[in-house]
A and B are shown apart, each in its own frame.
Chain A
Amino acid sequence: MNFKVHKTLNQSFIAAIMADIQQLHHLATQVRRDILRMVHGAKSGHPGGSLGCADFVTALYAEVMDHQPSFNMDGVGEDVFFLSNGHISPVFYSVLARTGYFPVSELASFRKLNSRLQGHPATHEHLPGVRIATGSLGQGVSVAVGAALAKKMNGDTKHVYVLMGDGEIQEGQNWEAFMFAAHNKVDNLIVTIDYNGQQIDGSTQQIMGLGSDIEAKLKAFGWEVMHMDGHQMESILDTLSKAKSASGKGKPIFIIMKTEMGYPVDFMMGSHKWHGVAPNDAELEKALSQLTTPLADY
């Protein structure tokens, strides 16, 4: 799969793209099944945000990024990704396994003793695909800025991607990193914020309002800001393509990705309730019945 957005498309090309998008949908649905089964199996974890970001992380790894599942920590000559909101590790692990970083059967070990799939992503157990430990929030953007600087110093033209939570932006370190990246023109960096409006204790507006205009905040910090619908594969691919085109022009790029926590499981959507709770047997069955795919469970 190698999706490119073109202004003028012939019919066969459109058909190929639609087939691509259909495949991405299947993969994202399978990732959602994995997320629910992993969290259920561990009787703990964070399904809500993981489900909400499944389309984006699937698109990144299956379509957008130029990356090597053989995995080299330094990531020289390839795109690298950091998950700053490490608690949505289930989506990260599932996508890594499903794109060839390690066997999908290993997903069953999530949060279990002696596993490489720790509750939050870690390098300590040498899980291929993970380049930094995250979980204590607010640190991933700084790490990504450092990795982006290293790419510039190495003459490496590939990109650095980060996903962060919207509640996570309350951590002050992010704003240090935002200032630095703009001041130093770190323009090979594409940060996406999962703008689902929920955090553990309630909605972000209740807990610590992010302000009516997150776009204006980031623009004022000197970033190029884009929007995308995190549940429309076409929107994700189109926006990431535009982001790549906008890179290298002196500004870091910030994408506000609208998502719904728990999407698309009907009883998990629209609330913070499923931020950090595992489904029981009946809830798992009900959720899985809403997620059908031709792919196979681990």
Chain B
Amino acid sequence: MKTFEVQNVKDTRSGFGAGLHELGKQNPNVVALCADLTGSLKMDAFQKDFPERFVQVGIAEANMIGMAAGLTIGGKIPFTGTFANFSTGRVYDQIRQSVAYSGKNVKICASHAGVTLGEDGATHQILEDIGMMKMLPGMTVINPCDYNQTKAATIAIAKHNGPVYLRFGRPAVPNFTPENQEFEIGKAVLLNEGKDVTILATGHLVWKAIEAGHLLAAQGIDAEIINIHTIKPLDAQAILESVRKTKCVVTAEEHQRNGGLGDSVAQLLSMSFPAPLEMVAVNDSFGESGTPDELMKKYGLDTTDIVKAVEAVIKRKN
């Protein structure tokens, strides 16, 4: 099992803020909108250095999405910023009609996704957003794993012409992917080659999959670990190539089973290469208040949950 050097421990939302600030320097058409959460979304640097391109919309997310769609008419590339819950469920019809169906070049940037939002509780811990967003025709859905990758993804989506949902989070997590990496939308990243099981992880669960890989290696299980930072379009080729070798899969994500990465992988496998699949995900439940670590443990999203899922799926082979 390959080891990854942790450069530092940082929140993915700060990666977004750094990426957005970089875009402000690179591209005069990039515009940022925020619904009264500038500090939480780490959009302050952009606001400070590019005030003429920063739009404070107040606590009015529906209007923010509509205005973002309107800003594209005039050649702007709007990045909207608020919590994942208010970026998706609260404004689903606005995104559906004014952005997705209208084919607008809007980047919906969503922080505090999942249970790692922590103490605020279930009202704010959305676990359904990937599902909602991936169902929209033409929507790209990205969930990077660490600071460096979130920064790279933020910069990359400005070059992609079309609506994008970029999901990231609140807690500080190990930052281990290369600094200044090229982010390729839709291209899975093979982190560790293995032959016994394929672990497909996204977002905060990628680091936990790496931790699980070390525990599994100690048991003599050789795990192939792939970072699926783009849930839609899914890198079917990379996934099928791996599963043809390992013959079983575990998916890991901070999201509901319904509608998440596991659901996309199940669809792919059942149609193209049926193989045993276990999902590490929240199983039809809301979250609650607690620390991120406590919640990841309670809701079955921890390193040991991945290990157990691997053990279970390997038993189902043959």
Q: How far is the CB of A118 from chain B (nearest CB, A)?
A: 10
Interface: A128 (CB within 8 A): no
Do B73 and A146 have beta carbons less than 8 Å apart?
yes
Q: Is the CB of B102 within 8 A of A147?
A: no
| Stretch from B4-12, B91-99, B126-134, B250-258 that touches the partner | B91-99
* B98 in contact with A132 (CB, 8 Å): yes
Asked whether A143 lies within 8 Å of B60 as measured between CB atoms, the reply is no
Contacting residues, chain A, for B101 (C-beta < 8 A): 122-124, 133
When distances are taken between beta carbons in the complex, the residues of chain A under 8 Å from B124 are none
- Distance between Cα atoms of A153 and B58 in the complex (Å): 20
Choose one: B63, B78, B96; the contact of A176 (CB below 8 Å): B63
Which of A22-30, A70-78, A215-223, A255-263 is near enough to bind chain B?
A70-78
| Shortest Cβ distance from residue B51 to the other chain A in the assembled complex, whole angstroms | 12
* Bound-complex Cα distance A135 to B94 (A): 11
A-B contact count (CB 8 A): 117
B74, CB-defined interface residue at 8 Å? yes
Is there a chain B Cβ closer than 8 Å to A163's Cβ?
no
CB neighbours (8 Å) of B104 from chain A are: 132
Q: Which residue of chain B has its CB nearest to the CB of A138?
A: B62
Q: Is B220 an interface residue (CB 8 A)?
A: no
Residues in A neighbouring B58, C-beta threshold 8 A: 176, 179-180, 183
Instruction: Decide yes or no whether A62 CB sits under 8 A from chain B.
Output: no
Q: Give the distance to chain A from B40, nearest Cβ to Cβ, in Å.
A: 20
A147 & B103 in contact (Cβ 8 Å cutoff): no
Q: Please report whether the interface of chain B is mostly helix, strand, loop or mixed according to DSSP.
A: helix
B70 close to A132 (CB less than 8 A):
yes
Residues of B within 8 A of A123 (CB): 101-103
Tell me which residues across on chain B come within 8 A of A132, comparing CB atoms.
69-70, 73, 98, 102, 104
Q: Is B55 an interface residue (CB 8 A)?
A: yes
Count contacts on B: residues with CB < 8 A to the other chain.
31
> A24–B60 Cα gap in the complex (Å)?
40
- Chain B residues with Cβ below 8 Å from A150 are 70-76
Tell whether B57 is near chain A: CB-to-CB under 8 Å. Answer: yes
How many angstroms between the C-alpha atoms of A149 and B52 in the bound complex? Answer: 10
- Whether B66 sits at the interface, judged by CB under 8 Å, is yes
Q: Does B102 lie within 8 Å of A122, measured CB to CB?
A: yes
> By the criterion CB–CB under 8 Å, are A145 and B75 in contact?
no
A26–B69 Cα distance when bound, in Å, is 36
Contact of B187 with A by CB under 8 A: no
Docked-complex contact B102 and A146, CB < 8 angstroms = no
A145 touches which one: B52, B66, B76, B97 (CB < 8 A)? Answer: B66
Contact B97 A75 (CB under 8 A): no
CA distance A122 to B74 in the complex (A): 18
Total contacting residues, chain A, CB less than 8 A: 39
Q: Select the residue from A76, A134, A142, A173 with max chain B CB neighbours within 10 A.
A: A142
**Are A151 and B94 interface neighbours, CB within 8 A?**
no
B97 and A173 within 8 A (CB) = no
Interface flag for B31 (CB, 8 Å)? yes
In the complex, A50 has a CB within 8 A of chain B: no
The winner among B68, B94, B98 for most chain A CB atoms within 10 A is: B98
- Are A136 and B70 neighbours in the complex by a CB distance under 8 Å? no
Bound CA–CA A148/B70 (angstroms): 8
Docked CA distance A179–B72 (Å): 21
> Is B157 part of the contact surface with A, judged by Cβ < 8 Å?
no
Q: Do the beta carbons of B97 and A146 come within 8 Å of each other?
A: no
**Docked-complex contact A173 and B62, CB < 8 angstroms:** yes
Contact present for B73 and A131 (CB under 8 Å)? yes
Closest Cβ of chain B to A130, distance in Å, is 9
Task: Name the distance in Å between A181's Cβ and chain B's nearest Cβ.
Answer: 9
Give Cα distance in the complex from A144 to B78, angstroms: 14
Asked whether, in the complex, the Cβ of B69 is within 8 Å of the Cβ of A146, the reply is: yes
Residues of B near A146 (CB, < 8 A) are 66-73, 78
Contact B73 A147 (CB under 8 A): yes
Chain A nearest CB, measured from B145 CB (Å): 32
Least CB distance, B187 to chain A, in whole angstroms: 28
**Contact, CB under 8 Å: B63 / A76:** no
Proximity string of chain A (150-172) to chain B, C-beta cutoff 8 Å, 1 when within and 0 when not: 11011010000000000000001
Provide 20 A-B residue pairs closer than 8 Å at the C-beta atoms, listed in order of the A residue.
A75-B73, A75-B74, A76-B74, A140-B66, A142-B66, A142-B67, A142-B94, A143-B70, A143-B73, A145-B66, A145-B67, A146-B69, A147-B74, A149-B55, A149-B70, A149-B71, A173-B62, A176-B62, A180-B67, A184-B55
Where the two chains meet, the residues of B that have a C-beta atom closer than 8 Å to any C-beta of A are 31, 52-53, 55, 57-58, 60, 62-63, 65-76, 78, 93-94, 96-98, 101-104
Question: Which 7 A-B pairs have CB atoms at the shortest separation, nearest pair first?
Answer: A146-B70, A142-B66, A150-B74, A146-B67, A176-B63, A176-B60, A143-B70
